[in-house]
Structure 1
Amino acid sequence: MSNIQEQIEQEKAQAKAVCDLEGATSGECAAAWDAVEELQAEASHQRQKHPEKTSLEQYCDNNPDALECRVYDD
């Protein structure tokens, strides 16, 4: 996931440079920011596919016998 974050930061820097050179209202500037938005959307989709575990889930993975982690069947 950090790889896509690095790509986003690189694309942001490139978009800023393009906008400074070509102007904020240019098509090149808009296209550069579109690329940033697409990468951000991909990062969001990846997070949804693989959500991070909550602190309780991590705790229960490490301590399955803890009282907080017990699951009772009715």
Structure 2
Amino acid sequence: MSNIQDQIQEELKHAREVCDSPDSNSGECAAAWDAVEELQAEASHQKTKEPKKNSLEQYCSENPEAAECRLYDD
């Protein structure tokens, strides 16, 4: 996840440079900020993809044969 955060920071820096440049046009500035928004959206999607497991779920993932992890049909 830190890799995408690094990319976001780089794109933010780039967008600021492009938009602050006196010879840049509004299209270049908009495209630079679009790139930032796309990376931020991807980072958000990655966070929601992987729900965190509680301690019992982690234990059962590592020890599925444990008594605490048995599943019973009703």
What range is the shorter-chain TM-score in?
A: 0.5 to 0.7
Structure 2: gaps of 5 or more residues = 60-71
**Please, what is the CA RMSD of the aligned residues?**
3.0
Give, in whole Å, the separation in 1 of the partners of 2:41 and 2:23.
Answer: 25
Shift of 1:50: 1.1
Quick one: structure 1 residues 21 and 45, their matched pair in 2 at CA, closer, same or farther if it must change by over 3 Å? same
Q: Which runs of 4+ in 1 moved over 6 A?
A: none
Alignment partner of 1:11 is 2:11: yes
Give, in whole Å, the separation in 1 of the partners of 2:40 and 2:3.
Answer: 12
Give, in whole Å, the separation in 1 of the partners of 2:41 and 2:22.
Answer: 25
Shift of 1:34: 0.1
Shift of 1:38: 0.3
Q: Is the 8 A contact 1:22 1:28 kept in 2?
A: no
Structure 1: gaps of 5 or more residues = 63-72
The total of aligned residue pairs comes to 66
Shift of 1:22: 4.6
Alignment of 1:1-74 (within 5 A): 1-22=1-22, 26-51=26-51, 53=52, 57=54, 59-60=55-56, 61=58
Q: Is the 8 A contact 1:12 1:36 kept in 2?
A: yes
When Rg is computed on C-alpha atoms for both structures, the one with the higher figure is 2
Shift of 1:3: 0.1
User: Which residue is equivalent to 2:63?
Assistant: none
Give, in whole Å, the separation in 1 of the partners of 2:44 and 2:10.
Answer: 17
